[in-house]
Amino acid sequence: MFELGVVYRNIDRADRVAADGLASFGSATVHEAQGRVGLMKTYMRPIYPGAQISGTAVTVLLQPGDNWMLHVAAEQIQPGDIVVAACTTDNTDGFFGDLLATSFQARGARGLVIDGGCRDVKTLQQMGFPVWSRAISSKGTVKETLGSVNIPVVCAGMTVNPGDVIVADDDGVVVVPAAQARKTLDAASAREANEADKRAKLASGVLGLDMYKMREPLAAKGLKYID
Amino acid sequence: MFELGVVYRNIDRADRVAADGLASFGSATVHEAQGRVGLMKTYMRPIYPGAQISGTAVTVLLQPGDNWMLHVAAEQIQPGDIVVAACTTDNTDGFFGDLLATSFQARGARGLVIDGGCRDVKTLQQMGFPVWSRAISSKGTVKETLGSVNIPVVCAGMTVNPGDVIVADDDGVVVVPAAQARKTLDAASAREANEADKRAKLASGVLGLDMYKMREPLAAKGLKYID
Amino acid sequence: MFELGVVYRNIDRADRVAADGLASFGSATVHEAQGRVGLMKTYMRPIYPGAQISGTAVTVLLQPGDNWMLHVAAEQIQPGDIVVAACTTDNTDGFFGDLLATSFQARGARGLVIDGGCRDVKTLQQMGFPVWSRAISSKGTVKETLGSVNIPVVCAGMTVNPGDVIVADDDGVVVVPAAQARKTLDAASAREANEADKRAKLASGVLGLDMYKMREPLAAKGLKYID
Amino acid sequence: MFELGVVYRNIDRADRVAADGLASFGSATVHEAQGRVGLMKTYMRPIYPGAQISGTAVTVLLQPGDNWMLHVAAEQIQPGDIVVAACTTDNTDGFFGDLLATSFQARGARGLVIDGGCRDVKTLQQMGFPVWSRAISSKGTVKETLGSVNIPVVCAGMTVNPGDVIVADDDGVVVVPAAQARKTLDAASAREANEADKRAKLASGVLGLDMYKMREPLAAKGLKYID
Amino acid sequence: MFELGVVYRNIDRADRVAADGLASFGSATVHEAQGRVGLMKTYMRPIYPGAQISGTAVTVLLQPGDNWMLHVAAEQIQPGDIVVAACTTDNTDGFFGDLLATSFQARGARGLVIDGGCRDVKTLQQMGFPVWSRAISSKGTVKETLGSVNIPVVCAGMTVNPGDVIVADDDGVVVVPAAQARKTLDAASAREANEADKRAKLASGVLGLDMYKMREPLAAKGLKYID
Amino acid sequence: MFELGVVYRNIDRADRVAADGLASFGSATVHEAQGRVGLMKTYMRPIYPGAQISGTAVTVLLQPGDNWMLHVAAEQIQPGDIVVAACTTDNTDGFFGDLLATSFQARGARGLVIDGGCRDVKTLQQMGFPVWSRAISSKGTVKETLGSVNIPVVCAGMTVNPGDVIVADDDGVVVVPAAQARKTLDAASAREANEADKRAKLASGVLGLDMYKMREPLAAKGLKYID
């Protein structure tokens, strides 16, 4: 359960090699590699196309219309982190803009994942600071009510613990628990090697029906062909 | 009504000239040309901007979280087809990615229209394989339950029969029944010729009020001007 | 309350310098500058990225599925105006396309803000005529029922009076009442000067916690740090 | 594809015994009985709880904000019919109220299924005239634009042909094609007989795991129990 | 435009006879009577069925997650008022519960219309204090940030000025500007007298097609009957 | 992170006195009592009004369109439990109906909380088996793919661990972690005692402004009264 009004300063970050290495596989492959789990809801979209990152989560719990905790979180960022911000209720306000991005980037953050709104999107694209959010909104926020930093949060339907690995690209945002990061990196590598071969076969006209040997199980389920 | 577990192998495709020629007019003109009907719901969006295609429909009925029937459909694709996939319930899972796209493209498909989710969008753009979908999602799917191929489906609120013409661009996705394809092509051509002339007049400052002779009917309805 | 069937021909437009000058600050800064009010709902999105405009509002009240009043509005446009169209009910039909855009542009309009659908988006981008809308839709509309032009409307949750200033960019659409336009321009200028300095400090690694002197109020609210 | 501006006067209605008899089974049983297909989208809700009806469809295609075709449809109603109204675009206006209900009821209609809004809900409940709709709305509509009566329509995601059987209750609205009505009635009867027996066993504490012999297939899929 | 941080103490309330008398006609008739305008969005629903009220508006502008201004508003309530609460952003938190209802009721308020969440709905029903809201939510709110009382607000898409008449029932919430209240009452009375006669005719089997003389205009628009 | 394909048989249930006793306070009071956290999203609604329960969670992770794991979960139910079912993706299918309810009730379950659809709602009300769900749907589901039982799940935006206390009523669903159940019960009791006194004062006409001593902090924030 959420604790309000606390900041955990010392968190265990996932294995660095895995946290850095998962980016190159992308969220779809990583999602499959860890057993088809960990994807945030699909309303989380990049504010500009093309970014593909991974890193370790610094988590934030926000109150609606209030971005105070993002300022508190800035101090907890280390190079290679991605900030993950949840909110105690559905809210689309513009919690984050170019000033906070400048601060986050100076601290070494690679991006932000926020179950809320974001603004200054043109400047953020020019800065190369990617954000995945539920909305884009010019609406600013107040600094009145405490949330927390580095507690477990539910962001866009997925639990994120501080230090977990986040993988984000145009397909969405996937969470890899710190304890599974290395194993998932290995599984993703194996999967990708495997995919290149499949792609070549399919490109040559081989059908998935044959490559995956689906004809027999389809017939067993009763599929009928009608001419 | 849907039949589950069947694949129709021989379908009547719409007139080829019409199926190929409608692309150049775009979905808005085609929609008007066939009497302002046939548009799928507006939640269907292209995964990248700029694609504009038309072709003959191979239809698929999917089960939620299950993309088995897309593999079955691949075998039924002929060059010039567009695959149209509906689902028995609202579902945003990533039924389709770059491997299936490689297979579909090798078979001659021009694109996919899916009332569900799509993934690997960056790769699909690089491949030049356009998709119109209700969501983008990294979530993979299982292969357990039968749907059907080449039955009439309701996709994003619109009935699609196998062989119908699909016209898709940045404005949306329009369905033209096979039997009306040629007539609609002619109507679209006539309409477009007509539009160039109107555009020139409007650009010169002529008002639509005058060009379309609207002042009288507006007055008849009671429109009042107040200074 | 809405009056139906009326067109006000003489409206008081906001101060020209302010109406033209606010564009350069963008919607987020203007929103803050006028006291964090005036933002339309976040479902209003630009049909293509990168446009940033301001201008004086010509308002339109539409009926669902009917774009007649946009033709009536064209005649009321003066150079530097932005057309703002509301609808008597939620509706995503494609009320506006390239022909109307040609006419609006010929009259000197800078763009359109419409709580409804828009079509021909590729052509509109080529023309450089920006639109902010709730949907993109190929669906055309009829010309049967009267609405009004230049009455106060509620567009995407915000009241717009004819002559108010509209500021629109990738972050959203903000309304500045005509009477506050000059004051808001001054406030936005002051704010921006101020932001450059803050940005430099944050980029150098200074924390917002220190720059904004937040540590004391956070402690007063009871924020606890846990190691 | 939709034809606009036509009224089909002679339609083939489904077998009367089936059309009348399916009500008693309810939509969930009928949905299963015809092979788990035919359910409208779940946003279709009854305006008051407790009604459970079946009957033959008189179909209507409406234009947004315009209820003219409901008046046209009234003349086509025969005792035992249920009116099914679709709209050419998503629209929540109050197309239907107590006056039309009085007329429909006088003609022998058993209820209305409308992919739009409904009003006068308190009076409709007092009259015992059930409606399933996507919204409740006081907003009245105009009578300006033609739709059609008794053409095939897509209502809330499901194709309805005139004369099909509609089954509607608190669980939703199911469409049974006329040609399958008798067969579906038989299947529903068989299914219900079967359910009474199952219910008794489950009530006595027998587990579905055992009654349906699921333990072996679960183990085969790899389910693990951990103490 | 919204002013934040102000409370207007002296507001002009609409004519008492009209404010009290409109309740008996209900929102649908009142909506028609004032020219088919003034309806709030249909997501505003009563927390329990059956209430039907009218009264004069005390308006409130809330901040997301903050109900402080409802306490401020309580002092401004006079017998016969209905409190209308808008929020600066979409928010479903439970701003209002049984304690505030007790206070509002003690001051003479007839109900609440809130573009936000409400809680304690069972108790509110027992108290007979009706609420129309966009959501039901147990989530409590803070008291940190100023909004305003008795300024013009946009609530669920409709402008409400303090003192306007609110009519709310199971069909929705309609706003009648104070200046039009008496005229609207007269129009609603005339309309209802008229409806009783129509209802009797329709109940006897007369068709709307004939009663409203629609056959000729339908034919003029081109409606075709096909046997 | 989710594990798929596992059933935990031995779970630690929360203190029985707290798990049983929290029902009487209702979700709103419990939510406040544990520090304004733990509420599921507001789209979770009771299928019939009036039920108010608490109990210990047996958790289930479902796959879209597949209710197999609910049968597996039945065996793990003990008297006083509430089943909490999440799904790996948004899905509204009717996973649960009267047969499963009969089984759950026979095992001693007090209700179901499901982030998916429910059917047979009339029968469930007659049985007195309450369900909170995101949808009502006649659509049945398959039994093909493994999920899990008694793992931590995210249900409607909130983390639920097996054995946690669930409190559900007309206002929504609140989760109380097992470790905080007793403390929360005490806090809820204290809170309620306190509320009766406040209610009496407010009913007598005392304003919250005075009772809560808000006038001074409001003035400090700058609230202005205008006559």
Tens of pLDDT, residue by residue, chain A (227 residues): 568 999 999 999 999 999 999 999 999 999 999 999 999 999 999 999 999 999 999 999 999 999 999 999 999 999 999 999 999 999 999 999 999 999 999 999 999 999 999 999 999 999 999 999 999 999 999 999 999 999 999 999 999 999 999 999 999 999 999 999 999 999 999 988 888 899 999 999 999 999 999 999 999 999 999 99
b or e along B97-113 (b: 16 or more beta carbons within 10 Å of the residue's beta carbon)? bbbbbbbbbbbebbbbb
3-class DSSP state of D88: coil
The fraction of chain B above a pLDDT of 70, given in percent, is 99
Q: Residue E62 forms beta bridges with which residues?
A: E87
Q: Which residues does C213 contact at the CB level (< 8 Å), separation at least 6?
A: none
| C119–B171 CB contact, under 8 Å | yes
Q: How many residues does chain D have?
A: 227
* Residue pair B2/B151 in contact by the 8 Å Cβ criterion: yes
Interface of E with A (CB under 8 A): 63-66, 88-93, 139, 142, 144-145
- Output the CA torsion C114→C119→C120→C124 (10° steps): 10
pLDDT for position B48: 97
* Residue pair A105/A83 in contact by the 8 Å Cβ criterion: no
| CA dihedral for A222, F98, F90, F83, sign (positive or negative) | negative
B111-118 and B131-136: which strand pairing? parallel
3-state SS of B197-212 is HHHHHHHCCCCHHHHC
Interface of C with B (CB under 8 A): 5-10, 48, 68, 71-72, 74-75, 92, 94, 97-100, 102-103, 105-107, 117, 119-122, 135-140, 143, 145-146
- A83 burial (CB, 10 Å; 0-12 / 13-18 / 19+) is buried
Question: What is the Cα–Cα distance from E166 to E58, expressed in whole angstroms?
Answer: 10
b or e along E168-188 (b: 16 or more beta carbons within 10 Å of the residue's beta carbon)? bbbbbbbbbbbebbbebbebb
pLDDT for position A147: 96
Question: What is the Cα–Cα distance from F4 to F8, expressed in whole angstroms?
Answer: 11
Q: What is the pLDDT of residues C8-42, one digit of tens each?
A: 999 999 999 999 999 999 999 999 999 999 999 99
Q: Which residues does E136 contact at the CB level (< 8 Å), separation at least 6?
A: E47, E94, E117, E118, E119, E121, F42, F45, F170, F171, F172
- Read off the tokens for D144: 């300006």
Residue F84: name the closest of F183, F188, F184, F14 by CA: F14
pLDDT for position A2: 62
Question: What is the Cα–Cα distance from F220 to E145, expressed in whole angstroms?
Answer: 11
| D119–E221 CB contact, under 8 Å | no
Residue of A90, A93, A144 lying closest to E92 (CB–CB)? A90
Interface of D with B (CB under 8 A): 1-2, 4, 34-38, 41, 88, 90, 152, 154, 157-159, 175-177, 180
Q: Residue D17 forms beta bridges with which residues?
A: none
Residues from chain F that touch A176, judged by Cβ atoms under 8 A, are 1
Question: What is the average pLDDT across C202-217?
Answer: 96
- C195 burial (CB, 10 Å; 0-12 / 13-18 / 19+) is middle
Residue of C27, C30, C224 lying closest to A5 (CB–CB)? C224
Residue C1 has pLDDT above 80, yes or no: no
Question: What is the average pLDDT across F191-212?
Answer: 93
Residue D161: name the closest of D110, D86, D65 by CA: D86
| D93–C89 CB contact, under 8 Å | yes
CA of E46 vs chain D CAs: smallest distance (Å):
11
3-state SS of D102-136 is HHHHHHCCCEEEEEEEECCHHHHHHHCCCEEEEEE
**Confidence grade of residue F3 (pLDDT, cut at 50, 70, 90):** confident
- E201 burial (CB, 10 Å; 0-12 / 13-18 / 19+) is middle
Question: What is the average pLDDT across C32-58?
Answer: 96
Q: Which whole-number Å values give the CA distances from F144 to B144, E75, F147, F153, in the listed order? A: 6, 60, 10, 20
Interface of A with C (CB under 8 A): 5-10, 48, 68, 71-72, 74-75, 92, 94, 97-100, 102-103, 105-107, 117, 119-122, 135-140, 143, 145-146
The answer to which of A34-48, C171-185, F191-205 has the lowest mean pLDDT is: F191-205
Interface of B with C (CB under 8 A): 26-28, 30-32, 36, 39, 42, 45, 49-50, 52, 169-172, 174, 195, 198-199, 202-205, 207-209, 212, 214, 217-218, 221-227
Straight-line distance from the first to the last Cα atom of chain E, in angstroms, rounded to the nearest whole number? 58
Place of tokens 């901007």: B49
| B218–C146 CB contact, under 8 Å | yes
Residue of F28, F204, F226 lying closest to E120 (CB–CB)? F28
b or e along B120-140 (b: 16 or more beta carbons within 10 Å of the residue's beta carbon)? bbbbbbeeebbbbbbbbbbbb
Residue of D63, D92, D139 lying closest to C65 (CB–CB)? D63
CA of A205 vs chain F CAs: smallest distance (Å):
30
CA of E161 vs chain F CAs: smallest distance (Å):
16
Q: Which residues does F213 contact at the CB level (< 8 Å), separation at least 6?
A: none
* Residue pair F173/F86 in contact by the 8 Å Cβ criterion: no
Q: Which residues does D5 contact at the CB level (< 8 Å), separation at least 6?
A: D146, D147, D148, E221, E222, E223, E224
| B107–A205 CB contact, under 8 Å | yes
pLDDT for position D109: 98
* Residue pair C121/C129 in contact by the 8 Å Cβ criterion: no
Question: What is the Cα–Cα distance from A85 to A155, expressed in whole angstroms?
Answer: 7
CA of C90 vs chain B CAs: smallest distance (Å):
13
The stretches in chain D having pLDDT less than 70 are 1-2
pLDDT for position A27: 97
The stretches in chain E having pLDDT less than 70 are 1-2
Q: Which residues does A40 contact at the CB level (< 8 Å), separation at least 6?
A: A113, A155, A156, A157, A158, A172, A173, A174, A175
Read out DSSP for chain B?
---SSEEE-------HHHHHHGGGGHHHHHHHHTTS--BPPTT-EESSTT--EEEEEEEEEEBTTB-HHHHHHHTT--TTEEEEEEESS----EEE-HHHHHHHHHHT--EEEEEEEE--HHHHHHHT--EEEEEE-----B--S--EESS-EEETTEEE-TT-EEEEETTEEEEE-GGGHHHHHHHHHHHHHHHHHHHHHHHTT--HHHHTT-HHHHHHHT-EEE-
ipTM (interface pTM): 0.95
Residues from chain A that touch E145, judged by Cβ atoms under 8 A, are 65, 142, 144
Residue D129: name the closest of A164, E211, F12, E203 by CA: E203
Question: What is the Cα–Cα distance from F37 to F43, expressed in whole angstroms?
Answer: 17
Based on its alpha-carbon atoms, the radius of gyration of chain B, rounded to whole angstroms, reads: 20
Which chains pack against D, by 3+ Cβ pairs within 8 A? B, C, E, F
Question: What is the Cα–Cα distance from F166 to F181, expressed in whole angstroms?
Answer: 10
Residues from chain D that touch B175, judged by Cβ atoms under 8 A, are 1
CA of C91 vs chain D CAs: smallest distance (Å):
6
DSSP state, residue D47: S
3-class DSSP state of D5: coil
Touch between F and C (at least 3 CB pairs under 8 Å)? no
| F1–A152 CB contact, under 8 Å | no
* Residue pair A62/A90 in contact by the 8 Å Cβ criterion: no
Chain D to chain E, count of Cβ pairs less than 8 Å apart? 110
Question: What is the Cα–Cα distance from C144 to D145, expressed in whole angstroms?
Answer: 8
The answer to which of C119-128, C189-198, E173-182 has the lowest mean pLDDT is: C189-198
Residue D104: name the closest of D134, D88, D84 by CA: D84
Q: Residue C39 forms beta bridges with which residues?
A: C174
